[in-house]
A and B are shown apart, each in its own frame.
Chain A
Amino acid sequence: MLGHGCQRLPLMPLRLIPDKLDDSVVRYMSMSTSELLVSTTVENSRKPPYTNPRERCKGLSVVERGEPYETAKAGGRHGAFYQAYRQRRAEEIQRGIRSLARQIEAHLAKIREPERYIAAFAQLDSRQQRALIQSKWPADIQRLQEQQAILQGILQERNL
């Protein structure tokens, strides 16, 4: 009886090995930074607006509002992030902005050279490849940019 037997099997790369990378994946990998950032915004703006329960009550989404800082300050998406940083010194906030910038750079690099970050990238299911390059990493970049905007908003709040 196997039950949850997948734990007992040897762990192997996922199957459905593609002969070559999907054209749309290759297109993303060859984009410049500015093209990727624009693409990130456009791709995510096409998705249904994200709402968390608190925002749903107000009938507004982050995308509709377009203001990560205002949304976080009002207790919506990234509200805890705003509260945590609001109490920190300006130097810590600046450090946070730099850390987020490094994360954004790392994600852009992942889109351009996924094999450097996931050794078995070519062996992944082609849907997983597409999901990483066209959906997950761009969405991660957008989230990091929202957090950067919030930290910049806190500094502006203090006239720094």
Chain B
Amino acid sequence: MSQVELLAFLKDLTILMQEKYQTTLGPCREDEKEADYQFRLGQNFAYYDVLDVIHSQLLAFGLPTRELEPVVPELGQSIP
């Protein structure tokens, strides 16, 4: 895999994980059971962790992150 392909793969992976993070954001909805909300809260934290690990690994491998930024959101906040 060339570096261009690798970065394309990482870019798509990051966007997919960011979408999952975004869909688990937000306060408890009126039609949402408490247990479902708590589960979603845990999912949100897990996707945040995944994005943070991806970002950390990009830095550790010395890969360019400019094209992918912002990789990791502030926990509980939307990705700009």
Contact = CB atoms under 8 A, between A and B. Distances in A.
A and B associate in one complex: yes
B54 interface: no
Q: Residue among B22, B26, B28, B61 with the most chain A CB within 10 A?
A: B26
A interface, by DSSP: helix, strand, loop or mixed? helix
B29 A5 contact: yes
Interface string B20-32: 0011111111010
Contact of A140 (B22, B52, B75, B78): B52
Given A99-B59, A120-B77, A6 B41 contact: no
Contacts of B75: 118, 124, 128, 132
B31 A95 contact: no
Contact of B22 (A7, A99, A120): A7
A2 B28 CA distance: 13
Nearest to A100: B60
Interface in B35-80: 40-41, 44-45, 49, 52-53, 56, 59-62, 74-78
A4 interface: yes
A120 B76 contact: yes
Given A7-B22, A118-B74, A124-B76, A14 B27 contact: yes
Given A6-B29, A9-B29, A14-B41, A119 B74 contact: yes
Contacts of A120: 74, 76-77
Contacts of B74: 117-120
Contact of A84 (B24, B29, B40, B61): B61
Which 3 pairs between the two chains have the least Cβ-Cβ distance?
A11-B78, A6-B26, A14-B76
Interface of A: 2, 4-7, 9-15, 81, 84, 92, 95-96, 99-100, 103, 117-120, 123-125, 128, 131-132, 136, 140, 143-144, 147
